[in-house]
Amino acid sequence: MVQYLVKEELKDWIGIASSISAQLSTNAVERDTQAGLPEQEIKLLRENGLLPLVVPTEYGGVGATWIEALKIVQLLSQADGSIGQLYGNHLNLTTLAHVSGTPEQKQRYYQETAANNLFWANAINTRDTRLKIVPDGEHFRVHGTKSFGTGIAIADMRVFSAIQDGVETPLFFIIPKDRNGVVSQQDWDNFGQRRTDSNTFSFHDVLVKKDEVLGYPHPPEHAFSTFLGIIAQLTKTYVYLGIAQGALLAAKQYTLTQTRPWITSGVERAAADPYILHHYGELWTQLQAAIALSDRVAVEVQQAWNKDINLTSQERGEVAISVFAAKAFASKVGIDITNRIFEVMGTRSTATKYGFDRYWRDLRTFTLHDPLDYKLRDIGNWVLNQELPLVTQYS
């Protein structure tokens, strides 16, 4: 197994994340019921210094690797999948200009994030083409609608994609929270990930300055310029792992304190029931396998990240296949765990007051982000035909 030693100074950040996760666990059910804006949760991350985690030290950040940062995403997701998703998205977006912008934008946004403790969110979703951007002198104007604005309402920096007539590739732009003309439609009412506040947003003649549109990286066509999409896929994987881990830990506590053995089991405690033991053994083993695979893939991703513009298309594609495998496996294991925990807890565990169903609802909602079938198809195509996946926002 590939092992990675966390730098000594990063152990403190993992401890901080563990403390935040414990705090989030105390009222997770209540917050899930309320839905709404996760203002207090993001404030907690901000006050504890977690926002500039992956910003390099030369720009004033913590300088964590993706290997270290994704374990923190997993820890937060263990308590609340919504906050794990928001934080994972934030980490990805803080590096967006590094990957897909100009050197000047890379420096600017890294430095601003670290200096001002900024929180990032996005509504990129390039499949939604209703948002239009048009030139206006040396700047631009944006109008239309964009869906899945996850965390946008409380973000300091907001990333969107829009279509310009005559330009095939969508333009990405970054605007601050106080920019006039961006309005939430308050339509996020899904059964899972309820605290992500992933509303649709309307744009009414919104100004976008020319230096807020991501310029072309240098060199413009290198494989690294699209590598953030692969990191985003692995980030989602760690949210899935965290949710599944949180579900299994919650079930364990309930089984040890509340569950009663079946009348014909011949034992006095649920923790001695042979079928309950079998279920826990199977679920725990599946989770360990999913975590181990993901951790191994995280090392591959970090190695590719370190190559920066020297990353080749072949290397990018092979890392993508590894990430797809980890994501597919974590999805299946997570859905299985969050469904089957009720078999080891019993009927009373379905009471609304416990909120154990939120683990399945969160995982089921988020694993639908993009179709798992296409990840498995790409893996199979690589195994049989050695064909790399097409480069898209999702691959």
Q: Is the C-alpha dihedral spanning 367, 90, 246, 328 positive or negative?
A: positive
Token couple for 201: 């947003």
What's at 183, amino acid-wise?
V
The percentage of residues in the chain with a pLDDT greater than 90, rounded to a whole number, is 93
Q: What is the pLDDT of residue 221?
A: 78
Binned at pLDDT 50, 70 and 90, residue 97 comes out as very high
Distance CA(192)–CA(28), nearest Å, equals 13
Q: What is the pLDDT of residue 217?
A: 73
- Mean pLDDT for all residues in the chain: 95
The predicted model gives 103-132 an average pLDDT of 96
Nearest CA among 228, 207, 224, 225 for reference residue 215: 225
CA distance 163 to 114: 30
Q: What is the pLDDT of residue 3?
A: 41
Cα end-to-end span (Å), the chain? 26
Span 36-61, average pLDDT: 97
pLDDT of residue 9: 59
Question: Sign of torsion, CA 41 47 48 50?
Answer: positive
Cα–Cα dist 47/56, whole Å: 19
**Strand 157-162 relative to strand 182-184: parallel, antiparallel, unpaired?**
unpaired
Residues 147, 148, 154: CA angle, nearest 5 degrees: 115
**What is the model's pLDDT at position 5?**
40
Q: Give the pLDDT confidence score for residue 215 in this predicted structure.
A: 87
Judge whether residue 8 has pLDDT over 70.
no
pLDDT digits 0-9 by tens, 134-149: 999 999 999 999 999 9
> Which structural domains are found in the chain, ordered by start?
8-119 (1.10.540.10), 121-212 (2.40.110.10), 223-385 (1.20.140.10)
pLDDT at 7: 58
3-state secondary structure (DSSP) of residue 344:
helix
- Please tell me whether residue 119 adopts helix, strand or coil conformation: coil
C-alpha to C-alpha distance for 118 and 156, rounded to whole angstroms: 6
pLDDT in tens, 274-331: 999 999 999 999 999 999 999 999 999 999 999 999 999 999 999 999 999 999 999 9
The Cα 282–Cα 279 span in angstroms is 5
Which phi and psi (to 5°) does residue 358 adopt?
-65, -30
Please state the φ and ψ torsions of residue 224, each to the nearest 5 degrees.
-65, -25
Percentage of residues of the chain with pLDDT beyond 70:
97
Q: How confident is the model at residue 160 (pLDDT cuts 50, 70, 90)?
A: very high
Task: Give yes or no for a contact between 107 and 247, defined as CB atoms under 8 angstroms apart.
Answer: no
What's residue 136's pLDDT?
96
**Phi, psi dihedrals of residue 51, rounded to the nearest 5°:** -70, -40
Provide the whole-model pTM. Answer: 0.95
- φ, ψ (nearest 5 deg) of residue 137: 65, -130
User: Does the pLDDT at position 1 exceed 50?
Assistant: no
Report how far residue 247's alpha carbon sits from residue 230's, in angstroms, rounded to the nearest whole number. 26
3-class DSSP state for residue 152?
Answer: helix
Rounded mean pLDDT of 250-274?
A: 96
pLDDT at residue 218, as a whole number: 66
> What pLDDT, in 10s, does the model give residues 199-251?
999 999 999 999 999 987 767 778 999 999 999 999 999 999 999 999 999 99
State pLDDT tens for residues 52-93: 999 999 999 999 999 999 999 999 999 999 999 999 999 999
Burial of 367 (0-12, 13-18, 19+ CB in 10 A): buried
Provide the 10 A C-beta neighbour count for residue 249.
Answer: 14
Contact between residue 230 and residue 375 where contact means Cβ atoms under 8 Å apart: no
Model pLDDT, residue 2: 37
**How many CB atoms neighbour CB 365 within 10 A?**
19
Tokens of 298: 């995280």
